[in-house]
């Protein structure tokens, strides 16, 4: 099944761009964080703040590895999900992975609502972003395509992805 799978850091635009691609191509849009919230009846912030990140990663893995959309869909994943090798292999098999690449400065500007980003709440946000990106980017770069999401509009980026994947 050829799904379009958006990966990248918090603030890289996965949800916004994913929604546009799904609208333009008439595909379903699946947001894995949203599925986790539905399954647990808790917000992502509450899961991480109350139950801890380790517990969140277990639920995240369970939710993603149980995905079986019937029709080709657009899937937006939480920024840390692909660091799990099983999840990454699963997603690579499920479709085309697209890394929405943005610099720490851009990600910093786009994550001002840190209260809904529990991993960015404690400490210097820019430093946390730089550290996470440094650790994650080698994995993100293993995606099928890499799209610079820097200074372009979400619609422009979505159009680029649609063209490059011949959707």
Restricted to residues 56-115, the positions that interact with ligand S3P (CB under 6 A) are 78-80
Distance from C-alpha of 54 to C-alpha of 80, rounded to nearest angstrom = 12
Residue from 104, 118, 133, 143 in contact with ligand S3P (CB under 6 A): 118
Q: Which residues pair with 26 in a beta bridge?
A: none
The residues with which 95 forms a beta bridge, in sequence order, are 3
Least distance to ligand S3P, CB of residue 166, Å: 26
Residue nearest to ligand S3P (CB): 78
- Closest alpha carbon to 31 in 71, 67, 77, 70: 77
By beta-carbon proximity to ligand S3P, the closer residue of 3 and 117 is: 117
Q: For residues 104 and 120, give the distance between their C-alpha atoms in angstroms, rounded to a whole number.
A: 13
Task: Determine if 17 is a binding residue for ligand S3P (CB under 6 A).
Answer: no
Closest approach, Cβ 82 to ligand S3P, in A, equals: 10
Distance CA 57, CA 53 (A): 6
How far apart CA 110 and CA 36 sit, in angstroms, is: 23
CB closer to ligand S3P, 105 vs 166: 105
Give the binding site for ligand S3P (CB under 6 A).
10, 14, 33, 44, 78-80, 117-119
């Amino acid at each position: 099944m050829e799904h379009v799978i958006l990966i990248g850091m918090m603030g890289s635009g996965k949800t916004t761009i994913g929604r546009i691609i799904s609208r333009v191509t008439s595909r379903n849009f699946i947001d894995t964080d949203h599925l986790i919230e539905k399954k647990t009846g808790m917000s992502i912030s509450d899961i991480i703040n109350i139950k801890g990140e380790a517990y969140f990663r277990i639920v995240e893995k369970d939710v993603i590895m149980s995905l079986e959309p019937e029709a080709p869909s657009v899937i937006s994943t939480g920024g840390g999900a692909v660091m799990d090798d099983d999840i990454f292999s699963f997603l690579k098999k499920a479709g085309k992975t697209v890394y929405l690449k943005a610099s720490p400065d851009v990600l910093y500007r786009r994550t001002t609502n840190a209260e809904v980003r529990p991993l960015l709440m404690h400490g210097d946000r820019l430093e946390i972003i730089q550290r996470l990106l440094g650790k994650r980017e080698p994995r993100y770069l293993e995606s099928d395509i890499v799209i610079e999401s820097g200074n372009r509009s979400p619609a422009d980026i979505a159009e680029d992805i649609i063209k490059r994947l011949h959707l």
